[in-house]
Amino acid sequence: MKSPVLLYIVIGGLLAVLGYFVLPAQAVSSNQALALGLIVGSIATPLLATLFGQQNASASGTDNDDNSDSKTLYVGNLPYRASEQDVKAHFSSHGTVVSVRLMKDRRTGKRKGYGFVEMQGDAELIVSTLNDTEFQDRTLKVRMAKDKQDDE
């Protein structure tokens, strides 16, 4: 999902409604229950976003997705034992790493030896710097990623 802001707003609203109906009417007024539900929703929403791997969400429900100048790089000949954290650490010395996706075989779950690194910075310089460099005893092949083509 490209922009999960709507999902966070819906989750926050559901938590607000849940707080409204769950809190006993004798303990607090309906307006206080609704306000408490909104507060809980605004706190729980970013926590849920982090739990589901969406670190870009803020407490106000806005998406901090300002990666318009980021580029996706194809990285081939990766060691099968390399993790996303290993690749991120290797690439982070050359720019800001936005995300790392290492491809896995759907049937076996084993890594395929290639992946994609989304980075901010001068992509051409990063490609020329990291292509044909050693990483965990393998020579990396780094290129600009091609855009996905719809097979219609």
Contact status, residue 95 vs residue 126, Cβ threshold 8 Å: yes
**What per-residue confidence (pLDDT) applies to 143?**
96
Counts of helices then strands in the chain (DSSP H, E): 4, 6
* Residue 139 forms part of a structural domain: yes
Whether 95 maps to a domain, the answer reads: yes
pLDDT confidence of residue 121: 86
Asked if residue 109 is part of any domain, the answer here is yes
User: Count of domains in the chain?
Assistant: 2
Question: Do the domain assignments include residue 58?
Answer: no
Mean pLDDT for the chain overall: 76
Q: Which helix (H) or strand (E) segment is 24 a member of?
A: none
Q: Do 45 and 77 lie in a common domain? A: no
**pTM beyond cutoff 0.85:** no
- Same domain for 79 and 20: no
How many angstroms separate the Cα of 144 from the Cα of each of 3, 10, 40, 127, 151? Answer: 24, 37, 43, 7, 21
Domain that holds residue 37: 5-51
